[in-house]
Structure 1
């Protein structure tokens, strides 16, 4: 077992190294200081970083197999294990546990929120919307479902509806920069002339306890990328898991900026870098993966159009 654990740990380190090497070869066109020709800024990844979650999963699994449990206790354990699987990026296993929870406790709002999010990431927008609506039937004050349903509307170009949900999410905590970032990204789609003005107005209420406040300042032109990198290295310990979190956020929102200005290749690289820090349960990780899938579909569609056009010209 020790040997297996060592092999698994070493394989993760090797995969991370290869991932960085591949990305380094793809970033020649990407401007900035986080990504240069010979260097990519990433957090350290350690083989045992998820050891505690893995131990908890093993213990819960044992209890589910041999424990004398009530229905409510079993439902609670399935939910807790599902959350742990989700935090490790094992979303298929998490979905299984969440459906088991619903079979035992059909009125668990948090489960519908997770399942709706997975449906959204699968681009099953109708199923996701149905799940999010059930959350509000069970718990009208379930705050983060306003974000998730807003994202459903945003990615289906129903920007007015997304705005309503993003505003409700924002008003629940006006000091949270990530809430105004999504408002800004949404407003760029349907009233771009007002988006930056609103961002600047809302930014006056932000708390510097959040790393995202500095990303907002970057969006407003008050910080450079070098300023962001410098602040990141003093905001948290670069050897800590929190550094991986703030890099995930930074790369995602830099990628969204590149995407909105038409720099698709740079956006693609930055989305991949958001994934490289392996913060699986962050919205920025989830939707970096989602955005990459959409970019891949777009590229495939463009290639098909070129082939079709060439065939037409030959005729």
Structure 2
């Protein structure tokens, strides 16, 4: 079972995230359909869209302060408030509530699953793995933990282990395109010569009730980016919150495609666009943020290496100094 000490070591998760979009000219070619000089395709944002969730948070908070509650009732309320905080992108507060719930209810797979996800996004891969293993010990059929543990292995570059979990996740619901997409993304690292062929085979079982099916069609070069945008406007009302959701998914998977092709700057722009739609509890939003943090770290490490190389090249040779 995961060590509770690591989970109770509360740190506000990735605070103070601010970025400016340098979009014009960053994404080229067919992707100009989504990003052009004078226009960016984003979902509508409404000030009161989260009003009901905010009201629920206030009510739960009042119950936790003044309510005469049993241990299990208190744990349930902390968990419910944590889920609400998570959906609003208040991940530090969510993480705190989940740890409080876990202290009261230490055998809850759902709590371990959330905390494992935060540990993964914090790049604490080993602790995340412990959390996900704890989930599956408590409930071997907890479906989404196979995705989360698979992603943990993927970002640890243990692609063969990621394949086992992502395949199990896919086989539980073969008409779900997002499961097929993550298998494909992993297989590009694990067995690239088979990845596209496997995706094409799995695409035959996908349901067009999911927006991700059209993203799969784009990955397979069956439709263009323009076709994707046209289908998006038909698939949901562009004025609805669902439009922001499908744009979040679209930008994320376009970004992963760019990143896998070695176009880091274009991928960075698309990851930022995925985040701009503010669908905080989508896996695509979470990992767009995660990928951006990794890109920033890689860029800083590259710059440091270049500076060090320049310094080494410019440093006078000790033998030459002795000769002088």
Range of TM-score over shorter length:
over 0.9
Unaligned runs of 5+ in 2: 1-17, 316-324
Give the Cα–Cα distance (whole angstroms) in 1 for the partners of residues 50 and 27 of structure 2. 32
Deviation, 1:37, is 1.4
* Residue 215 in structure 1 maps to residue 212 in structure 2: no
Deviation, 1:208, is 0.2
Using the size of structure 2 for normalisation, the TM-score is 0.90
Deviation, 1:26, is 2.6
* Residue 125 in structure 1 maps to residue 125 in structure 2: yes
1:52 equivalent in structure 2:
52
Write out per-residue CA displacement over residues 190-233 of structure 1, whole angstroms, 9 at most, x where no aligned residue: 21110000000000000000000000000000010000000001
How many residues align structurally? 295
Write out per-residue CA displacement over residues 65-115 of structure 1, whole angstroms, 9 at most, x where no aligned residue: 111111111111111000000000111111111111111111000000000
Please say which structure displays the higher CA radius of gyration: 2
Give the Cα–Cα distance (whole angstroms) in 2 for the partners of residues 209 and 77 of structure 1. 34
2:173 equivalent in structure 1:
173
Any conservation in 1 of the 2:254–2:270 contact (CA below 8 Å)?
yes
Give the Cα–Cα distance (whole angstroms) in 1 for the partners of residues 234 and 213 of structure 2. 15
Unaligned runs of 5+ in 1: 1-17
Give the Cα–Cα distance (whole angstroms) in 2 for the partners of residues 216 and 253 of structure 1. 9
Give the Cα–Cα distance (whole angstroms) in 1 for the partners of residues 24 and 178 of structure 2. 26
Equivalent position to 2:23, from 21, 26, 49: 26
Any conservation in 2 of the 1:27–1:269 contact (CA below 8 Å)?
no
2:319 equivalent in structure 1:
none
Structure with a larger share of its residues in helix: 1
Give the Cα–Cα distance (whole angstroms) in 2 for the partners of residues 270 and 37 of structure 1. 15
Give the Cα–Cα distance (whole angstroms) in 1 for the partners of residues 83 and 156 of structure 2. 27
Using the size of structure 1 for normalisation, the TM-score is 0.92
Give the Cα–Cα distance (whole angstroms) in 2 for the partners of residues 309 and 53 of structure 1. 52
1:281 equivalent in structure 2:
281
1:159 equivalent in structure 2:
159
Mapping of residues 238-277 of structure 1, within 5 Å: 238-277=238-277
RMSD: 1.0
